[in-house]
Structure 1
């Protein structure tokens, strides 16, 4: 059974239609959406997360309909947003504690272990604005893999990462590809060879 079912999704920005009756199913494991710049990858993740209102269509996540139970739907989703400045004033450790208080499935111990795997120990108590782009992305990735969400949406997962972190992330994604009740969707221009993907969606200009 799919974790997420999207039916007849329509959405566009003024003067820029993006999705016209898009339907897809995300099975458990790791899937990917890829395409050129400005083709709608990030917008699609925001729609699937319930952050943008759809013009038409339905989204059902583990039997929960976004249209009728939006809060319950969004509680099942975790989306990475490493470019955001909303967390600039707090540390990764503080953010992990905040997430644990808001999300019953969030595993703080796992988050700390993951951040160590990404070599973040020297930076775990620094305000996020002091971290490099790569380190901020590692914080978001650590939270994503500790969140226990039914649907995890990761934008540009490998951007700004050093080689050791890329190898560690690929190990985590290989484990995620074996999940039987959780779906992961990666969005990027291209993805490294050798990844096990359940579904691959190619977006073109104007999609």
Structure 2
């Protein structure tokens, strides 16, 4: 764990003694860290467990041992309450393929109490998603799907937002917009964003780095 967080600000998430692995492939054991407000990076090479750690934090996977808590709400004890404080979507998911992009985005306000329609409108315009909103998700390119997921992530308003390989499949204008969004996230006083990638985005200040 690098770039020690500011200890004067309470962490958004606390992870203690996490252990996880796949059959015949242990990934980590005794992993502990605090995630402060701002932007943090889970960094490592292919196969080191970046996506698995993101899914553990999201509550999509269960650790073999250890605990995760957001502002004192523990995943193992209060699963639903914990999950309501996290935004995460698997960028490879096909679960929403039958929905239009607009239908998926509209559905988020039903279970994300801090979801911002105004922020979403700005993101849809910024990512040039308007021509794709009425298309079913299965018809969208990988890049357009990624823009839908990113728009959802930054409009979600959750205390913790998780994004796996945020720049994958994006065009140059969208990469510039995403860098600006991450720069804004880095200075947020109370919410936390975590990205999993091979390296830190250029020009963005990180609150912490988890090296795997």
**TM-score, structure 1 length as denominator?**
0.95
Other structure's SS at 2:30 match = strand
Aligned partner (choices 162, 176, 194) of residue 153 of structure 1: 162
Aligned partner (choices 17, 22, 39) of residue 26 of structure 2: 17
Q: Aligned pair 1:142/2:148, yes or no?
A: no
The range that moved more, 62-71 or 20-29, is: 62-71
Question: For the residues of structure 1 that align with 2:46 and 2:36, how far apart are their CA atoms?
Answer: 26
CA-to-partner distance for each residue in 1:77-121, whole Å, 9 max, x for gaps?
011322111111111211111111121111223212211111111
**Matched ranges for 1:45-194 at <5 A:** 45-194=54-203
The range that moved more, 168-177 or 189-198, is: 189-198
Other structure's SS at 1:125 match = coil
Question: For the residues of structure 2 that align with 1:127 and 1:191, how far apart are their CA atoms?
Answer: 33
Structure 1 regions of 5+ residues with no counterpart?
A: none
Q: How many residues align?
A: 203
CA-to-partner distance for each residue in 1:145-178, whole Å, 9 max, x for gaps?
0000111000000011111001101111111111
Question: For the residues of structure 2 that align with 1:72 and 1:174, how far apart are their CA atoms?
Answer: 28
Question: For the residues of structure 1 that align with 2:61 and 2:201, how far apart are their CA atoms?
Answer: 29
1:193 Cα offset (Å): 2.2
In structure 1, the residue matched to 2:45 is 36
Q: Residues 96 and 108 of structure 1 are in contact (CA less than 8 Å); yes or no, is this contact kept in structure 2?
A: no
Structure 2 regions of 5+ residues with no counterpart?
A: 1-9
1:181 Cα offset (Å): 1.1
Question: For the residues of structure 2 that align with 1:62 and 1:126, how far apart are their CA atoms?
Answer: 38
In structure 1, the residue matched to 2:206 is 197
Moved beyond 6 Å, runs of 4+? none
